[in-house]
Amino acid sequence: MSGYYRYLGNNVYYNDIEDVTQSLPRLPIPSLEKTLARYLDSVKPLLSHGEFKHTTNIVKAFGKQHGPGEYLQKLLRKWDDEQQPKTWLEQWWLELAYLSSRDPLCPLSNYWLLMADDPEPYGIITEPPPNHPPLLPFNNQNLNGPDGPFVGVLNRVGYGDFQIRRAAKIIEITHNIMESIYNKEMPAEMARGRPICMEQWLKVFGTTRIPKIGCDELVVPDTNGGQQLQPSTFIVALIDDQIFRIEVYDKFTRERLLVGDVENQLRDAIAYVEKLPAHKRSPAINVLASGNRDRWASIYAELLKNPRNKLILKQIIDANFVISLDDTVTLPYGSLRAAQYTAKHHAARPDHNRWADKLSNFIIDRNGVFGFNGEHSPVDGFAPGVICINTAIMLNHPENRIKPDIKSPTTLSYNSPDGNLHIFDPSTSHLKFEGVNDKILRVIDETSKEIRKIALESISFQHTFEGFGGDWIKNIAKLSADAFVQVASQLAYYRTHATFVATYETSSSRKFHGGRTDTIRAFTTQVADFVKAMEDPRSTNQERYRLLRSAFKTHVNNVTLASNGEGIDRHLLGLKLAYDRLYPKDKVEKNNNSCASDPLSGEAKKIIEDFFNDPAFQMSCTWRLSTSAAVPSPGVVHSGYCALGHDKSYGNSYMILKDKIRLGLEGRNTIAGNGSKIYQFEKHFASALWDMRRLCEKVGNYCEPDVDRSRL
């Protein structure tokens, strides 16, 4: 099975992912003194001289010896001891970063991936059929920018043979990968020769988010008494908002069915839906999973009161994943700017035909365009991304290529009159909700309108910069490719909005037990100095290049600190929660033990509240530029996620390939009348990359052998 994991890059095997996890060190609590010093460094370029002096005084009071900061640090260490073997952060992060949010999941929290097309598809639609309604524009925007050709979507164009067979092949390959994980055949992930935490791989299949008032819950696969994970025998398919149970294993023998058996089930389900009268259709309950969490939680609780509905919801939870077959196509065929909307929230009917609570929702449109929509709370993007990469690569491998004249193998007969085994009857495998009253129908309509509004405000597309890529940056310029893209993003933002903003970059903390992510504060004083010099005509290229190298050095150091558990943002969160949650408990315990004094004086409380309520603190963690590097591969051609909703904000999921750089950009067009300028940002990003390369070539002497320096 090692061929399925070519992007893990080694052949070392471990018998048990949980053994690897237990062998790792626990996430450390950084030094209070170092965190506060790095915090001041990070806010300095965002503040005026007077503002920085004010914040410095607040930080000094908070961090003084025997001061309130040290008290909170002690509470945090005590909490850490109580959480073993888990980390001090794990429970809090899952709750506060994800499960307690009441915002709609799609597209605000879930992320989306788009995989490479089949090089030899058949039966696809490349232009509107005769008498078909015209193309629907996305967001009333031209996705190729003000001067580009129009792209759009065709809605209600039915289903195709290539789509069905490609979907079945995706189901087959992903189950091969799932089995290799569960059978402990998966190669170890390594970072600099050392194993890293892999427990997230055990949650990719079968995990479901359950809506609850105030804070959601997660249902993850059972480890079967600590032994071996057992997959469910089925998945769930969504076809025009109708939900079907699709068998992947024989119910009784647990032997895998062949790909042709899965194809036949999908065909039967589609035929059933196409003939289904309106009064026998199930309402689009699935839309509710994308909307406001408390509203969905209220309806979910009501649905559970009906035994039939409770069984349906249980089957969705138990399914290995969801697969959505859409009756849409995006045109022109092959346009990544158009096709990524299929994966984001459905190309024509936002968040219909999806189940947003399921961690893994694979998507295939009428032309076989292959996408993925992921619920983010239990797992970060790497493990699902690698699974999608390898699925796409295996899917397009010659031995797996789908040919119209070659039928897929089957083991079972369907609806045959001779008494052979029947495993699929659309009428019984159709998971139709019962007792859906007018109140629920109204909530579905409200949610659909809510999601459509969010979708119309969100502009996202693919930008591929083809001037150069990681090879030139690393091998010729001898620079960090990640730092190059991050600094270019800062220069692009400044050129777009004439200001600087706090910037988030994802860092992995998976070298630690249960580690997930921390924040790299990518905007620094050194970056600000470089950007100002680039925009100042009085600056020399030598000075600009010196500042560029300084910015890169600082960025690489900050990346190293974050990956080693020395990032500041998770630590600052822990200190705040120590005050909000642990201090009241500590105060009660001391009172119960007849301690007369409050562990914090009134002055100490004011210092703490001044620290966390300081405008500089709020500004420094308001991420108007949210960035994350995606795994470079030929399998995944687009990755995207939404910015955090602030004005002039962008989500930037970038992929650094050998000869190009791909950006999955997202921004808002109507936030308080001050939306993102995503097309300008795209243009300025490309120009920033070229300007930085020319600077390196002119001053750093980093030309490729065939470059004529006299023409620079």
For the annotated catalytic residues, the residue numbers are 376
Six-digit token string for 418? 């001779």
Counting DSSP H helices and E strands in the chain, the numbers are 22, 19
* Long-range CB contact pairs, 188-192, < 8 A, 24+: 188/8, 188/10, 188/12, 188/13, 188/14, 188/20, 189/8, 189/510, 190/8, 190/9, 190/10, 190/12, 191/508, 191/510, 191/511
**Cα–Cα dist 604/586, whole Å:** 15
Question: How many Cα atoms within 13 Å fall on the side-chain side of residue 445?
Answer: 6
**Cα–Cα dist 275/251, whole Å:** 28
Residues 6+ apart with CB under 8 A from 18: 199, 202, 223
**Cα–Cα dist 684/493, whole Å:** 8
The DSSP bridge pattern shows strands 111-115 and 636-640 to be: antiparallel
Buried b (16+ CB within 10 A) or exposed e, 379-413: bbbbbbbbbbbbbbbbbbeeeeebeeeeebeeebe
Estimate to the nearest angstrom the gap between the alpha carbon of 682 and the chain centroid.
21
Name the packing angle between helices 68-82 and 602-613 (round to 10°): 80
Around Cβ 5, how many Cβ atoms within 10 Å? 22
**Cα–Cα dist 142/82, whole Å:** 54
**Cα–Cα dist 688/527, whole Å:** 13
**Cα–Cα dist 402/51, whole Å:** 63
**Cα–Cα dist 492/501, whole Å:** 12
Q: What is the CA angle 450-455-459, rounded to 5?
A: 155
CA dihedral 152, 155, 157, 160 (to 10 degrees): 70
The answer to whether 165 touches 263, Cβ cutoff 8 Å, is yes
**Cα–Cα dist 474/481, whole Å:** 6
Question: How many Cα atoms within 13 Å fall on the side-chain side of residue 21?
Answer: 16
The answer to whether 705 touches 504, Cβ cutoff 8 Å, is no
The answer to whether 167 touches 266, Cβ cutoff 8 Å, is yes
The answer to whether 395 touches 172, Cβ cutoff 8 Å, is no
Question: How many Cα atoms within 13 Å fall on the side-chain side of residue 141?
Answer: 22
Closest alpha carbon to 315 in 421, 428, 447, 439: 428
Overall residue count recorded for the chain in this entry: 712
